[in-house]
Structure 1
């Protein structure tokens, strides 16, 4: 059986298993098919009827995990059925879950000169620049900067300055350069 036909058969059979009562919907008197209507599944999954109908015709390629989860929730799928639905979607995409390539590739990120100057000017403690995914970078619009500082004249400030000096000298402590003894 091809993947589209298998997806079509799976979704239609699961839709037929759920009654309106089980889904928490009012029962209608004129039902031509057992189970839920496509429009009811679409409403429960918070998507258009057209999009759900496309999925039910076997066009699962490109469906996001959130869409698949919404369909699984609407059809009240158990764990094995959810896994099968995800497998069908992965097969439609032409890959399996372990070897599926990432859709977005990370672009090589370079530090803007002005941001580097700002980071270099901070001597009171470490600073972190990160993107929205909290990848630590140091960059540009859409990034945030976190700066750590300590109370002036405190032992914490002295420790942060010492760490900064070690970073500036490549991680070699002043004591290691000039051992006493």
Structure 2
């Protein structure tokens, strides 16, 4: 019986070594821009270490909806799935990067990269990160003062207005290069327009 249990122990150790060494995928990292201007392109990157394993697939998702797949052993290796608002530049997309063209506010959300090693392990790892698409004002803010000239010590009454944007801009006042005190500035709630 001792000989039999020794064989079983050796078999278990060999199996653990095989399974432990078969993962082949580690250090998966995703890089997604925190913020992108509406109308710009966005480069999403997924880096990984397959060790000695081969790549089976890279899949990209917005939320839980797949929009891009890279399978190196298939021809063509790229597949783009129709997802409203998402346009992929195939010429700038590969097994690490995917380029989204002319992004819009609707593409704000969480993006996931799924990396799968090839047989025998098919080990899979998923990383995700948020991206916000912002609409910036098309023009500079305008300042309208109640009076153009003031004697020293007089109170200045002025209004600073920014063009439409999402999220609302943060406006800070300076006077002669110095930031004004918060208690002398009246903040009006942003008015949102569609």
Structure 2 length normalisation: TM-score?
A: 0.23
Greater helix share, 1 or 2? 1
Q: Which fold has the larger relative contact order, with Cα–Cα distance below 8 Å and residues 6 or more apart in sequence?
A: 2
TM-score (ref. length: structure 1)? 0.24
Q: Higher strand fraction: Structure 1 or Structure 2?
A: 2
